[in-house]
Amino acid sequence: EINPSELTFMKELGCGQFGVVRLGKWRDQQRVAIKSIREGAMYEEDFVEEAKVMLCHPKLVQLYGVCLKHRPLLIVAEFMDNGCLLNYLRQKGGALKEAWLMSMCQDVCEGMEYLEAHSFIHRDLAARNCLVNKNNVVKVSDFGMTYVLDNQYTSSSGAKFPVKWSPPEVLHYSKYSSKSDVWSFVVMWEIFSEGRTPFESRSNLEVVNDITRGMRLYRPHRASQPLYAIMYRCW
């Protein structure tokens, strides 16, 4: 539990599923990201239970604490200077050497390996849910889909459901596992395509049909054949 009087709010960083995210300071020194949770956007009790576990790993965006006594609920987390991985790839993609693209994939793998080792299923791994710090280290974030209260997001036929990152068993039977997280390593495809959208010109419904029939993403332009073989194995 963090005392909100110890937080100072600075500029707005972005806006997500749950509400606004701002840069702030904790006790006047530590820079932090503060997420305000919109009323009714989250299963709060479940979130608080889960937050007690406090997953901690250098490749996961660290949760520092929560402010529970007032509304909106605040989540205080590690501040990541370079923002979300997807925008980072779109802005810097061409300037990133292959070795860097590889090391970003490795970062995501290490974070995800830790989640699996602790029996935690992410359910929404995607470049938009990874963040990049000032040393260009990529960390996995937003392990929060479990607590979302928006049907458009949680139902596989909903408009916000991450269809293009989901395996057939999730699309058809909502069967989540660490293996479905492995499928979402579509992130590797996003990294090697410099932030393209997977199945760009296809609708969600078309993608469900394509994936079910065994169709897969093409080799992104920055990936060599052996690298493509790795992402392909994840699908």
Binding-site positions read 35
> What is the b/e burial string over 150-174, where b = at least 16 CB atoms within 10 angstroms of the residue's CB?
eeeebeeeeeebbbbbbbbebbeee
Restricted to residues 110-139, the positions that interact with ligand ADP (CB under 6 A) are: 131
Q: Does 83 engage in binding with ligand ADP (CB under 6 A)?
A: yes
Restricted to residues 11-30, the positions that interact with ligand ADP (CB under 6 A) are: 13-18, 21
- Residue 80 or residue 171: which is nearer to ligand ADP going by CB? 80
Taking the complex as a whole, the smallest distance from the CB of residue 129 to ligand ADP amounts, in Å, to 6
Q: Does 80 engage in binding with ligand ADP (CB under 6 A)?
A: yes
Taking the complex as a whole, the smallest distance from the CB of residue 124 to ligand ADP amounts, in Å, to 9
* Residue 75, both tokens: 């989540």
x/- map, 134-163, ligand ADP, by CB under 6 A = -------xx-x-------------------
Q: Which phi-psi region, left, alpha or beta, contains residue 177 (left: φ > 0; alpha: ψ -120 to 50)?
A: beta
Other beta carbons within 10 angstroms of residue 234's beta carbon come to 17
Q: Does 204 engage in binding with ligand ADP (CB under 6 A)?
A: no
| 3-class DSSP assignment, residue 195 | coil
Task: Give the span between the Cα atoms of 21 and 12, in whole angstroms.
Answer: 6
Q: Cis peptide before 72, with omega less than 30 degrees from 0?
A: yes
Residue 142 is a catalytic residue: no
Task: Report the binding-site residues for ATP.
Answer: 35
Taking the complex as a whole, the smallest distance from the CB of residue 21 to ligand ADP amounts, in Å, to 4
Which residues is 30 bridged to in the sheet?
26
Annotated catalytic sites, by residue?
124
Question: Where along the sequence are the contacts to ligand ADP (CB under 6 A)?
Answer: 13-18, 21, 33, 61, 77-80, 83-84, 131, 141-142, 144
